[in-house]
Amino acid sequence: MYCKTCGKEMDNQSKFCPSCGEPVEKDEFAEMFQSNENKRSKNYNTELILGILAVVFSVLNYIGIFYVHLIGITLGAITMSLVNRDKKDGFEFSNAGYIMGVLGFVLGLIAVIIGVMYSM
Ligand SMILES: [Zn+2]
């Protein structure tokens, strides 16, 4: 990176030019993009995959493959706890993963309730 005022080469991270002291004008879009990238949770893809699997396992119960909804509930719960941790730490989490994790969790719970009702 080069200073826009005096043209001296400078550190990418510095806020002021070391040679003329001029404040660095950063490309705001580039910075926003970079901070989003940096703030994206490292669990982003895990949340998405676990969320999808939570829904899949819970839905399998409704088409006659029993007990797998317990896996759906577990995966949904793990997804929600990962997202909650990201929320607390201010990371960008996977919205789609979160929605599907909750959906899988709820569908799994409904399957448990239906199962209990049928066994009575
Ligand atoms: Zn300068």
Predicted pLDDT of residue 52: 97
Q: Is there a single domain that holds both residue 74 and residue 30?
A: no
Confidence at residue 21, expressed as pLDDT on a 0 to 100 scale: 86
Q: Which regions of the chain are under pLDDT 50?
A: none
Q: Are residues 52 and 8 in the same domain?
A: no
From ligand 1's centre to the CA of 13, what distance in Å?
14
What separation in Å is there between the alpha carbon of 12 and the centre of ligand 1? 13
pLDDT at 26: 63
The parent domain of residue 92 ranges over 41-119
Helix 44-62 × helix 95-119 angle, to 10°: 30
What is the Å distance from ligand 1's center to 39 Cα? 30
Domain count, the chain: 2
Residues 55 and 113 in one domain: yes
Q: How many angstroms does the Cα of residue 9 sit away from the middle of ligand 1?
A: 8
Q: Are residues 83 and 105 in the same domain?
A: yes
Per residue in 43-72, pLDDT tens?
Answer: 999 999 999 999 999 999 999 888 899 999
Are 47 and 64 contained in the same domain? yes
51 with 6, same domain: the answer is no
- pLDDT at position 15: 83
Task: Quote the ligand 1 centre to 7 CA distance (angstroms).
Answer: 6
Q: Taking Cα atoms as reference points, which of 58, 108, 102 lies closest to residue 84?
A: 102
